[in-house]
Amino acid sequence: MEMIEQLFVMLKQAALALPQALLPAELYARYEGMLSLVIGISAILVFAPATMLFLTWMERKVVARMQKRYGPNRVGKFGALQPFADGIKMFMKEDIIPKAVDPLLHSLAPMVILIPAVMIFAVMPFGKDMILVDLNIAILFIMSISSIETIAILMAGWSSRNAYSLISSLRAAAQVISYEIPLGFSMVAVLMMAGSMSTLDIVLAQQGGWFVLTPWGFLGFLIFFLSGAAEVNRTPFDVPEAESELVAGFHTEYSGMKFGLFYMAEFLGAFAIAAFSITFFFGGWLDPFEPLLGFAILPSWLWFMLKTYVLVFVFFWFRGTLPRLRVDLLLNFAWKYLLPMALLNIPIAALWFYLPAGPIRWVAGWAIGGSLIFGMHQLLTYHRVKKLYGRYERPSRPVVTESVPLKS
C-alpha cells in the first residue's frame, strides 16, 4: 500500500535520479527545486489534456444515459477511443481565421484561456505529498487565476467581430464578475476554520471531519459549487455559450484546434472546480475510513480522483437535467441569492468556531445554523415562491348561476 501511495512521488525521485547522477553535487543541490518543479509541471501538462479527453467522453456517455441513449460507441470498446478520434479531427481541421477578425487577439484568446486553466492545477493537492507548490495564498491564487478566463473570453468575443460572439463575451463578463463574489465569500468560511489559505493546510484541517458536514461547510460547498459552475460556464449557467441563442457564443468564429483549446479550458475549469470543492469541503485526498479502520483502503490520490469524479459527474448530471437560465435570472441568482447566503455563511462559521467542541457543537451548530440557512433561503426566495405558486392558489371567481339582465 505504501508503494502505491507513494507511486508518483517515487516516479519523480526516479526522474530526478538521472540529473543527480550526471550533475555535480553542488550544482544539483542548487537546481534540485527547479528540476522537481519542471517534472511536476510536465506531469500536469500531460495530466490536463488526458483529463480533458476523458471528460469529453464521460460527459457524452453520462448525458446520453440520462437521455436513454448509448452515447459514443463506435470507436473502440464503449467508444473509449472517441476523444482521440475527435482530437485527430481537431488537429486535421483547417484553422480558419475570418477576414474581419483582429488576427492577433483572435489567435491569442485560446491560449490566454488555456493558460490559467492549467495554471490552477499548480495548487491542487492530488494526494499526500502530491502538490506542485504549497502556496500559502492558494485561495487568492485560485481566485485571481480563474478570473483571467474572462479576459480571454472578452478577447475572443471582441476580436471575432461577430455580434453573437460579442454578446456572449459581454454576458460572460457580467456573469463571471457576479459569481466571483459569492465564490470568494464561500471560501472565506473555509479559511476562517482552517486558519490558512494553503490548500494543503485546508485538507489537513479536515482530518477531524469533512467541512461539508458542518452547516457552514454545507452551505459553503453549495455556494462554491454553483458559483464555480457559473464561473466555468457549465450548464445551467452556460449563458455565454448558449448554443440555441448565440450559435456557439464566443467561439463561434473558431475552428480546428483553437476551438479545441476553448473546450479544453472549459473542461479543465470544470475539473478544477470539482477538485477544489473536494479540497475545501470533502477532505481532499483524505481517506474517510482511515480514522475508523486504522489503515488506508485506497491510496490518497485515488481517493482524490474518486471524490473529484463524483463531483464532475454532478456537473454532467446538471447538464443532463437543467435548462439554461435566462440572463437576468442568472444575475439575480448571484446577487440576490448567493451573495446574501454567502454573507450569512460567515457568521454561521464564526458561531461554529466559538461553540465548544463535542456533540453540543454539532447539535447546537446544526440547529442554529440550519434554521438560519433555511430561514434565509425562504426569505430570499419568498417573492419567487409567491409568484410561482400564488396564481395557482388564488381563490376562483364566484360562479354566476343566474342570468344577468343586459343593461340597456
Using CB under 8 A, list all residues that contact other proteins. Answer: 62, 65-70, 73, 317-318, 320-322, 377-378, 381, 384-385, 388-389
Measured in residues, the chain has a length of 408
Output 35 or 80, the one with its CB closest to other proteins. 80
Report, in Å, the least distance between residue 66 CB and other proteins: 4
Report, in Å, the least distance between residue 68 CB and other proteins: 5
Report, in Å, the least distance between residue 337 CB and other proteins: 9
CB of 238 closer than 8 Å to CB of 325: no
Give the DSSP letter of residue 282. Answer: S
Output 256 or 320, the one with its CB closest to other proteins. 320
Report, in Å, the least distance between residue 405 CB and other proteins: 43
Extended strands (E) in 188-326: none
Give the DSSP letter of residue 403. Answer: P
Output 238 or 253, the one with its CB closest to other proteins. 238
Report, in Å, the least distance between residue 313 CB and other proteins: 9
The CA distance from 284 to 308, in Å, is: 9
The CA distance from 199 to 204, in Å, is: 9
CB of 321 closer than 8 Å to CB of 163: no
Task: Provide the sign of the torsion angle of the four alpha carbons 233, 234, 235, 236, taken in this order.
Answer: negative
Output 93 or 377, the one with its CB closest to other proteins. 377
Output 54 or 317, the one with its CB closest to other proteins. 317
The CA distance from 48 to 285, in Å, is: 18
Helix (H) or strand (E) holding 333: none
Using only C-alpha atoms, the chain has a radius of gyration, in whole angstroms, of: 25
Of 300, 136, 277, nearest in space to 217 by CA? 277
Residue 130: strand, helix, or coil: strand
Output 132 or 239, the one with its CB closest to other proteins. 239
Report, in Å, the least distance between residue 341 CB and other proteins: 12
CB of 273 closer than 8 Å to CB of 225: yes
Report, in Å, the least distance between residue 381 CB and other proteins: 3
Output 288 or 320, the one with its CB closest to other proteins. 320
